[in-house]
Structure 1
Amino acid sequence: MIRDLLIIIHACRPQRSYAIFRFLVTVFLLFRRRQRWLFWRPLQPDALVANIQTLGASFLKLAQVLATRADFFDQEYLDALRQLHDRMPPMSAKAYRRAFRRAFPDPEVFSEFSEEPLASASIGQVHRAVLRKNGKQVAVKLLREDIRIRVRVDIQLLRMFLVLFRPLFTDQTRHSIESVLRAFSRVILQEVSMQQELANLEHFRQVYTDAGIRFPVPYREHCSLTALVMSYEEGARFDDAEALARLDVPFRELMQKLVLFYTEQMLVKGYFHADPHPGNLLISPQGELILLDFGMVSRIPQQMRQAMIYAVKAAYERDFELLVSATRKMGILTENSDFAALAGIAESLFDVFDSDHLDASSMQELAFGILEVLHDQPFKLPQDIIYVMRASSLIEGLGTRYVENFNGIKDILPILRQNLARALGEDRLSLDKLKHEILQLPLTAVKARRVIELTEQGDLVVRMSPLDRQFLLDGLAGQLKQLGWLLLYLGLAFYFQRLEQAWAFYLSLACLGLAVTTLIKKRRLL
């Protein structure tokens, strides 16, 4: 208890709290494209990176998420943030022994345990060991000492500063930033629980049995909240060109398998590996694709998956109305968006999907270009979309490294197109579909009759999507807030006017001025 209290005091010390404040001020100013707020200007890219490095594990992870947000940062900042890596010095000998004893009260479960870690990151480190009972070689992931409480304190500090900054930004900005921090908080709390990572790994093994991907085998009886024991997987990193050349594996087939696997995750199953990077992908000597590290796993809701599918479908079919509907369902566009201006963007996107002679522009360049055009529109990127962008960037980066003339748009999007029907559940035999539709006809007729009856009775209820409902409620709240201030200023103006003191006249004029200013703002909102 005393140790935890000391950790909290150390994490909240004034110097560190100010560093967190400067980090968040920089993020907010860059997102709003503002030069300054009060006395503070945004940190320069190198200074921002140095600031993050002093803040520790939580902020390194947050920076890795922000490095995908082209809607937040200019390219200069994105390049700087991508230089941040998650490699950290190993735990000290004392800290390692304490972490080992906490995870394994009975150390005799291992006949061998290498104290030298295979890899060391901000959350934990991985060791090679051998199980005593069966002689199997295993990989043991140990959490760093006190990392759980440090992460929880950092999340509370982030929330506190977010409340402080909330009045400074529009609802759209606030929602975008809050959605990022909520997603980050949820994911990093998963990462510092080895039991959660164990559950993620077991679920992946169950859901993606037929995906042609190899996953480590967990040893549940030896796992705990602070340690994960799993089979030791040998192979070459996906980005190790020399090792892959020695294996002599058909790389284009592996790329197609990787694209299909992520398509399955993103569009079909919705259970998504949210930390895709080359260090988590190995190629076995037999040419198998191995996926590691299940600390960051996310679920993409069915409604979001369907909207993403229809967005790709609309792009191929040049269907502007469907594209707008899909992007609204994804929460990217709002009612305030200028749909006339978006028509030109959509036409450019349709041309990219249509072209048989694509240039060398990458998927990421395409996405960043669209985001740059959209920046003046009231839009936001849900974190699910960011995960998809990260996966696309990874796949494209690996493809361009090994496959001559590999193009993210030309080589990845056709595979998505081939799998749209399966993702939408439209890949059944035509006879089965016809039978299904015939059986549904009586139910459809009953539903149509019910709608007509409700319309005649005046009881028809139209349900809105949560995003549209929130948009209307936010607008109404803003109107009521402005009206409240207007009435308050008018009331004070009339009150001061009735007083006989000389100063009351000037206060009355000031309140009338504030009332007029509020009225002008109110008219702008309408």
Structure 2
Amino acid sequence: MPIDVMFSEISPEPVAAASLGQVYQARLRSTGEVVAVKVQRPGVQSAISLDILILRYLSGLIKKAGKLNTDLQAVVDEWASSLFREMDYKQEARNGVKFRQLYGSIQDVVVPEMNLALTTRKVLIMQWLEGQKLAGVKDLYLVEVGVYCSFNQLLEYGFYHADPHPGNLLRTYDGKLAYLDFGMMGEFKQEYRDGFIEACLHLVNRDYSALAKDFVTLGLIPPTSDKAAVTEALTGVFRDAVAKGVRNVSFGDLLGDLGFTMYKFKFQIPSYFSLVIRSLAVLEGIAIGINPEYKVLGSTYPWIARKVLTDSSPKLKASLRALLYKDGQFRIDRLESLLSESLRAKTERTLIENQNGGTDSKVVIKQILSFTLDDKGAFVREILLEEFSKGMVALGVATLDSVTNAVATSLPFSPSRPSSMTDEDITNLRNLQRLLLLISGLQENENPSMVNGVRTSNKQMISLNGAPVALQQFEAVQEYLPLLSVLPELPQEMQQQLLRLPADFAGKLASRVAARTLKRVFL
């Protein structure tokens, strides 16, 4: 179709330069809509083909000379494949349509509409967007929006923008984040998405043995590698970085620290990995340009924590259970950490610039209850009910001990009766108290009259040698239970779920009481 038939006007000179072409502003004659017209440079395909041929030859020589374990030619092939797809503007338009369908509804994200009917392999026509480059306006809020959008791209749907450089991220004049240029996209398979999430979990929780296994899953090291040696090396690399806390871990620094270890153990670089790493590194680079202290992993981890707590994937459920239990013992500190981090994951409508602001306890209660009563929180809800039932059994034993001892001490010449509480009971009782404090939106030591969860009058640590002392832990908890007045504010479906909990809890409690009774009778 002739240009003057398609457009009523078009800029005489390019208004922007794309990686493989030039962009003009035009107005469609049929609708009057202002559009961007990207035209591919003549001869670019043949020139790039020659460059790739040379790169592929050189990568083979480098691998052979350096005795590298990574298939460099496969990495070049992956990049080349992505580049050739980028030269097909009809494919780019289809990518843009898919990207808009998946992520265009995210709060403050704008994805231009593609004109599929008028687009050809070498001419792309799409909606015209105006704004400024994100890196030039220092809008940290939109960086957070980008982090959330990237989380969805990489870990929810696996279809991600593999070229999010500053020129492809725009701050529109109405304050929204616009994505441009959909030629270079990547697909992140489900098995790799799960492996990446597990690796982040194990890294944050300093489980370097499990992290070594994750690297096998991700294809970074072969299954035949010496896992013990790799674990020791990863411990040395990551220990100091992770000790600062997840919010202070730099993604770029982690990659840099890992470099020598990767060479020593002949790490493989899977073809998909380079695009994923590039995408994350570019995003952190843009953020650091705005705030030198920004850490993309620290901003992404809350979403990872929430996904682990809510995902229906059997693999992630198994990972969560393995994370929360060790040798049958419930590690409540890890659940507290995951829940605390997940609450930092702002929803689309509540993304805010300051991630470090305080939160009212009542709001926290509502967030935790909403999370655990939602359908997505079913797996965590089962774990909580199980641990609550353990704690209530222990509380019953402690109460019985307390009453029995009180009666015994009132009788003359009554022998002292040893406590029926086991170490496991005391642990379960402590866990029950911490769970109650957790759903009350409080930290264990927030109350000034509490020391390690036990009310004291002289700031001294009280040892849990008997049931009466164990029961003292619950005096302070009662002060916070009125905060559960938020229940009427919950959505109707969550209130209905709450009404079903007593029956579920009673069943688990009865089962535990019966098991304990049988154990005492027959063992």
Q: TM-score, normalised by structure 1?
A: 0.55
Over residues 156-203 of structure 1, what are the superposed CA-to-partner deviations in whole Å (9 max), with x where a residue is unaligned?
A: 454456667776564724x2x022111111111111111110111011
Change (3 A) 1:207 1:410: closer
Distance 1:156 1:252 in 2: 41
CA drift at 1:123:
1.2
Structure 2 counterpart SS, 1:129:
strand
CA contact (8 A) 2:132 2:170 kept: yes
Match of 1:131 in 2: 28
- Give the one of 280, 285, 308 matched to 1:397: 285
Match of 1:149 in 2: 46
CA drift at 1:356:
3.9
Q: Does 1:178 align with 2:73?
A: yes
Over residues 261-305 of structure 1, what are the superposed CA-to-partner deviations in whole Å (9 max), with x where a residue is unaligned?
A: 111111111001110111111111211110000010111111111
Q: Does 1:208 align with 2:112?
A: no
* 1:133 counterpart letter in structure 2: S
CA drift at 1:127:
0.5
Q: Does 1:355 align with 2:244?
A: yes
Query: Aligned runs of 1:18-417 on 2, under 5 Å?
Result: 104-159=1-56, 170=67, 172-173=69-70, 175=71, 177-212=72-107, 213-241=109-137, 251-348=139-236, 349=238, 352-353=241-242, 355-356=244-245, 362-403=250-291, 405-417=293-305
Structure with bigger gyration radius: 2
CA drift at 1:333:
1.0
Structure 1 counterpart SS, 2:27:
strand
CA drift at 1:106:
4.9
Distance 2:180 2:290 in 1: 21
Distance 1:357 1:192 in 2: 39
CA contact (8 A) 1:336 1:378 kept: no
CA contact (8 A) 1:196 1:295 kept: yes
CA contact (8 A) 1:315 1:350 kept: no
Distance 1:232 1:268 in 2: 28
Distance 2:140 2:223 in 1: 43
Change (3 A) 1:254 1:121: closer
- Give RMSD over aligned pairs: 3.1
Structure 2 counterpart SS, 1:263:
helix
Distance 1:313 1:120 in 2: 41
Change (3 A) 1:418 1:434: closer
CA contact (8 A) 2:60 2:73 kept: no
Q: TM-score, normalised by structure 2?
A: 0.56
Distance 1:271 1:263 in 2: 11
Structure 1 counterpart SS, 2:264:
coil
Gaps of 5+ in 1: 1-103, 245-250, 438-526
CA contact (8 A) 2:204 2:246 kept: no
CA contact (8 A) 2:154 2:160 kept: yes
Over residues 353-387 of structure 1, what are the superposed CA-to-partner deviations in whole Å (9 max), with x where a residue is unaligned?
A: 4534976x732122111122321112112243322
Distance 1:363 1:343 in 2: 20
**Which stretch has the larger CA shift, 410-419 or 126-135?**
410-419
* 1:185 counterpart letter in structure 2: A
**Among the aligned pairs, what percent are the same residue?**
27
Gaps of 5+ in 2: 318-370, 384-523
* 1:399 counterpart letter in structure 2: A
Structure 1 counterpart SS, 2:266:
coil
CA drift at 1:412:
4.1
Change (3 A) 1:304 1:151: same
Distance 1:167 1:435 in 2: 54
